[in-house]
Amino acid sequence: MGGRSEGGGQVSALRPSNLPKLAVCPCYESNPVAGPAAERGTLLDTAFRAELLQTDDRHELEDKLTSEEVAAVSWAVSMVRAMAGRERVLAREDDCRLQVLDLNGTADAIVPGRLMHFDLKTGLRRNYREQMAAYALGLMGAHFASEWTCHLLFCDLREIETFRFTYDEAHAVVDEVVRAFHDPRKKPVTCEYCGWCAKAETCPARRELVAETLPVADPGFDFEAVIADPDRLGQFLKACAVVDDFRERAKKVAIEQLKTGGEVPGWRLVTRKGNEFVNSETVGQHIEEIGFGPVLSAYGNMTANKFRRLWEEHLGSSKPFPEEAVKHAAPSTYLKQTNPKTK
Ligand code: SF4
């Protein structure tokens, strides 16, 4: 489920949705202030539930979504219906609550007749294995099953990831994370989740990394030696990522101070003129005079997913989507930090 605190009452660090993060850093603590991505996740999740249940407020919820988000939710609902077949789908929050090893959670939709549940995810694909293992464990207990299937619905990407667990497998996955969390000798492990962690600004592991990077200014700092050694290079980049994160946070604070009349010595606010543009309605009014061809070439290529959604919305299943028209751009390469346990 997208970003919502589970179980109600006091928010504990140890809850199913935090397990994938705790599996990497046992000291992770979620930030109590939900960011825009988490808020969007919760909204889409509510709309998904409402659509599955066909509740009266579903149109009201739909009005809060963009047309792309409406299409993403209806894709997820159609996947649930297709995989559930004639089986009953439970989607009321009260029907989807679960408890496992003292952790509370809420699945998005359960199909007890097929021993499976669905979880809606927004944004990029990430690891949710430990959260799904916890849900599987709770749902196996509630539905007297010895195996369980979890389907993650990445609605923005229109992708599905499926996990199947036996009781013992799910128990082992959850138990390992819970044990590491309760270990009195646990240590923070810097990772891709640091930016979301409530301790991001105070965490000793991150401060240590920053302290390692700052000697760049030291006259004795030998950059050639760093880039010549793969271990030092990796460590240096990891430290730079933390410094970048701190820098972004510091920039926000400085902008706020300068906007409210404060001073940050050495820095000032600069206002850039906004780009000029013509909205699509105006282009539409003149498109016949100019010609569709020149206007469409000026707009450029459309992503295949956007075109698929347009096709779905306007042509539905009346005509098959021309998959052969989808072109692939040249692959690009970028650097991504790996989590210590997934290296
Ligand atoms: S900031 Fe990063 S390393 Fe520190 S506790 Fe949080 S997740 Fe762990």
Domain boundaries, the chain: 1-200+272-310, 201-259
Distinct helix (H) and strand (E) counts, the chain: 13, 6
Please, which pLDDT band fits residue 8 given cuts at 50, 70 and 90? very low
**Are the CB atoms for 103 and 18 separated by under 8 Å?**
no
pLDDT reading at 224 higher than 90: no
CB 111 near ligand 1, within 6 Å = no
Q: Average of pLDDT values for 37-52?
A: 93
Which pLDDT does position 133 carry in this prediction?
97
- Give yes or no for residue 24 CB within 6 A of ligand 1: no
User: What is the percentage of the chain residues whose pLDDT exceeds 90?
Assistant: 52
CA 197, 199, 202, 205 dihedral sign is negative
d(CA 216, CA 239): 11
Beta strands (DSSP E) in the chain are 97-100, 103-106, 109-111, 116-121, 147-154, 159-166
**How far apart are the CA of 336 and the centre of ligand 1, in A?**
18
- Is 195 touching ligand 1 by the criterion CB < 6 Å? no
Q: Is 190 in the pocket of ligand 1 (CB under 6 A)?
A: yes
Would the CB of 199 count as within 6 Å of ligand 1? Answer: yes
Question: Distance from the CA of 200 to the center of ligand 1, in angstroms?
Answer: 6
> How far away, in angstroms, is 127 Cα from ligand 1 center?
17
Whole-number average pLDDT of the chain = 88
Interval between CA 192 and ligand 1 midpoint (Å): 9
Residue nearest to atom 3 of ligand 1 (CA): 190
The CA 337 to ligand 1 mean position distance, Å, reads 15
* pLDDT of amino acid 218: 64
The amino acid present at 181, given as its one-letter code, is F
What confidence tens digit (pLDDT) does each residue in 264-309 have? Answer: 988 899 888 888 999 999 999 999 999 999 999 999 998 887 888 8
Atom 2, ligand 1: residue with shortest CA distance:
194
Q: How far apart are the CA of 213 and the centre of ligand 1, in A? A: 18
Is 148 near ligand 1, meaning CB less than 6 Å away?
no
pLDDT score of 7 more than 50: no
For ligand 1, pick from 197, 207, 209 the residue to mutate: most ligand atoms within 8 Å of CB: 197
How is residue 15 written in tokens? 């809850």
Q: Do 30 and 7 form a contact (C-beta atoms < 8 A)?
A: no
Ligand 1 in contact with 198 (CB < 6 A)?
A: no
Q: For residues 68-81, give the mean pLDDT.
A: 93
| pLDDT (0 to 100) of residue 36 | 84
Q: How many angstroms is it from 242 CA to the middle of ligand 1?
A: 11
Residue nearest to atom 4 of ligand 1 (CA): 203
Least confident of 120-129, 212-221, 232-241: 212-221
Classify 111 as helix, strand or coil: strand
List the single range of 112-116, 221-225, 268-272, 303-307 with lowest mean pLDDT. 221-225
Record the tokens describing residue 179, joined without a space: 């044990």
Q: Is 34 strand, coil or helix?
A: coil
Cβ 242 under 6 angstroms from ligand 1: no
Alpha-carbon distance values, 1 to 17, 119, 229 (Å): 8, 6, 42
Question: Longest C-alpha distance within the chain, in Å?
Answer: 73
* Model-wide pTM > 0.95: no
* pLDDT value at 331 more than 90: no
| Probe target for ligand 1 pocket from 22, 28, 208, with the most ligand atoms within 8 Å of CB | 28
Using CA atoms, how far apart are residues 163 and 150, in angstroms rounded to an integer?
Answer: 5
The pLDDT, as a whole number, for residue 10 is: 42
